[in-house]
Chains A and B, each alone.
Chain A
Amino acid sequence: MITAGIDIGSTTAKGALLQDGKIESVKVLPTGYDPGAAARKVFDLLLEEVGIRPGDVPGIISTGYGRKNVDFAVRSVTEISCHAAGACFMNPGVATVVDIGGQDSKVIVLDKKGRVIDFAMNDKCAAGTGRFLDVMASALEIDLARLGEFSGRADTVAAISSVCTVFAESEVISLISKGEKRENIIAGIHASIGSRIVSMVKRVKGGPPYIMTGGVALNQGVVRVLEERLGNAVAVPRTAQVNGAVGAALIAARRDN
């Protein structure tokens, strides 16, 4: 059976195509201003790569912030359930999933059967999300993708105490004007995100083994901070960014749909 999962996030649209429990294709595109169009485009790209037609995919589930905009999906499921399913598939036995996306961050706690038993999400403010990194990267004039590399070279962690993104940005600017090294400032930014996420993990009593998914999982600096603060390894599956889409495709394949 071939199934698809379409995950429309605030920044990127992700798609995954599965056949009999095997990932056939994954795609990532910017969401842009029209989530419905992005969803269709991702789906087309998946079909094109595998060389099949829409009619060959009986199960399509949408998820993510724009899940209601995917008109060709059979139904939509929240990204919480999808990330849980995707994480269990990639790392069977995982107990806690940390997912940091563009505008939401979440911590999902699973039982031994992979069922969600609790979850937490960031509050409305952007601290502890990908957006926070975006704002800071542009304040520091550094490419988002290179933040991890920079923080790896820090000799000390600059203190950034504010939780509010606006306050934190002004702290970063005053650190810059005081001549603090960018590497150290970035390490401070990562520490700040880390402490928000760890606080969420503790609130829902999450434990190891941990995995991290979502676009921010590609940032080694954040992963390192989480590992330090949690005192445990945090695995990043190679499908980190498309984990929600993979999970959606897996749920689409379940018998009870």
Chain B
Amino acid sequence: MKEILERFEEIAADPGAYAVRWKTDTGRPVVGTFCSYAPEEIIYAAGALPFRMIGSGAEGGSDAYLQSYCCSVVKNTLDDALSGSLDFLDGVVFPHTCDSVQRLSDIFRLNLTGFFHTDVIMPANLGTKSAEAYTVSVLERMVRDLEKKVGTRVAKDDLSGAARVFNRIRRGLKRISRAAAENRIHIRSRNLHTISKAVMSMDPGEAAELLEQLCTFIQEEPVQDSGRLIRIGLTGSVCTAPSVYNTIEQAGGFVVFDDFCTMDRYFDFTVDESAEPLTGIARRYLEKAVCPCKHAGLYSRGERISRRAGELDAMGVIFLLLKFCDPHAFDYPYIRDMLEKRGIKSMVFELDDEQSVHAQFKTRCGAFMEMLQDMDRQQPDV
């Protein structure tokens, strides 16, 4: 197990280096993706490696393109591209999500002309009768577009094959994260974060294989005493800072689920392998755990988070919101109230920059754990 984790750690520490090696070894192109609505299956079916662009914290001068009130995920990605650390990419795929990403796509298209650019305008309203047909037609366009830009032919079998391998990844990640929450594998939230970060830039075949090997280490019985730890759920947009998990764990927390775009929302729901491949891929986007940028009923995110908290016996939920991330900020008050009604305490923290965890976060996490502990314990009147 140690070797597998080390392999993931090595890749997560520098996903770009992995991609460059992959490119040299295979002679095939690498295509950058942004967010969990980028159809990785299609990129892979076209013979390219989907590479998840997550800001590394490099300085690239994004301030010349984006104002101070832009979130750090968008800024850091642009910084990486401007600094040249994404120069190995052959292209980028931008699915439509929030307003900031919409403009980031424009800024990439106009300024970063070293690689090809494809916009994939996924529906924002997932609930209409026409959403599925529309998504399929958008995916068809993407296939044609990639065929032209990558210079390959994408057969139906390529798509089904890609869907199958990504399903294996999703099932693997899901099983491991569930086992971690149930304390049946020696893996904590910070390891999970590392694993998913690596997986999102790895050769899907290798990733699926490693995850399946890792699953063999899942035990029937608890692997360690977790009695005094406080079970915490996490929700928010993206988190690329492992220090967040460390801080929570050091404060006595035990993360039982994490709803980030790089975690639950990335591996939730598999593609129906019996359906037409593009239809299957399209349906997954309409049914998977929803990003707040999308409209899928009025309560779907709140319901899901409270259900997860209930199932996994979380005592508290931490909303880790990125400053200037509007969609999450709009959802926060109603989900907070929903959790409150079900007796689940929550805390919100606005991360200014995902790369640096503010000292105050430590204090707040500590105080939150102390508060949850005290709720259980009878305290002498002072």
Chain B residue nearest to A87 (CB atoms) is B382
Per the bound structure, the CA–CA distance linking A119 and B364 in Å amounts to 9
Q: Are A80 and B363 in contact (CB under 8 A)?
A: yes
Minimum C-beta distance from B380 to chain A (A) = 7
- Is the pair B382, A115 in contact by a Cβ cutoff of 8 Å? no
Produce 1/0 per residue, A114-126, CB < 8 A to B.
Answer: 1111110101100
Residue of B nearest to A80 (CB): B367
Least distance between B31 CB and chain A CB atoms (Å): 35
CB distance from A254 to the nearest CB of B (A): 7
The answer to whether A80 touches B370 (Cβ under 8 A) is yes
Q: Which residue of B lies closest to A122 (CB)?
A: B360
Known: A79-B363, A116-B370, A119-B371. A254 touches B380 (CB 8 A): yes
Q: Kindly list chain A residues whose C-beta atoms are within 8 Å of the C-beta of B367.
A: 78-81, 116, 119
CA distance in complex: A180, B47 (Å): 70
With A85-B382, A113-B379, A115-B379 as contacts: A104 and B370 at CB distance below 8 Å: no
Instruction: Answer whether residue A89 sits at the interface, using C-beta atoms and an 8 A cutoff.
Output: yes
Given contacts A65-B359, A115-B375, A116-B371, contact A121 B364 (CB under 8 A): yes
A178 within 8 A of B: no
Contacts of A118 in B (CB 8 A): 345, 371
Name the residue among B352, B380, B382 with the largest chain A CB count within 10 angstroms: B382
Chain A hits for B374, CB < 8 A: 81, 115-116
CA distance A79 to B359 in the complex (A): 13
Contact yes or no, B359 A123, CB < 8 A:
no
Closest to B359 in A: A65
Chain A contacts for B364, CB-based, 8 A = 78, 80, 121
A22: chain B residues within 8 A (beta carbon): none
Quick check: is B358 within 8 A (CB to CB) of the other chain?
yes
Q: Does B366 contact A (CB under 8 A)?
A: yes
A-B contact count (CB 8 A): 61
Count residues of B near A (Cβ-Cβ below 8 Å). Answer: 20
Interface string of A121-141 (1 = CB under 8 A from B): 101100000000000000000
Known: A77-B370, A81-B370, A116-B374. A123 touches B380 (CB 8 A): no
A53 within 8 A of B: no
Kindly state the separation between the CA atoms of A256 and B378 in the bound complex, as whole angstroms. 10
Indicate whether A216 reaches chain B with its CB closer than 8 angstroms: no
Q: Which residues of B contact A85 (CB under 8 A)?
A: 382
Which chain B positions have C-beta within 8 A of A255? 380
Known contacts A81-B367, A123-B350; is-contact A113 B360 (Cβ 8 Å): no
Chain B: which residue is nearest A64 at the CB level? B363
Question: Inside 8 A of A77's CB, which chain B residues have their CB?
Answer: 366, 370
Q: Is residue A6 within 8 Å, beta carbon to beta carbon, of the partner chain? A: no
Q: Which residues of A are in contact with B by a Cβ distance under 8 Å?
A: 65, 77-81, 85, 88-89, 92, 104, 113-119, 121, 123-124, 250, 254-256
Q: List 21 A-B contacts (CB under 8 A).
A: A78-B367, A80-B363, A80-B366, A81-B374, A85-B382, A114-B379, A114-B382, A115-B371, A115-B375, A115-B379, A116-B371, A116-B374, A117-B371, A117-B375, A118-B371, A121-B360, A123-B350, A124-B350, A124-B358, A254-B379, A255-B380
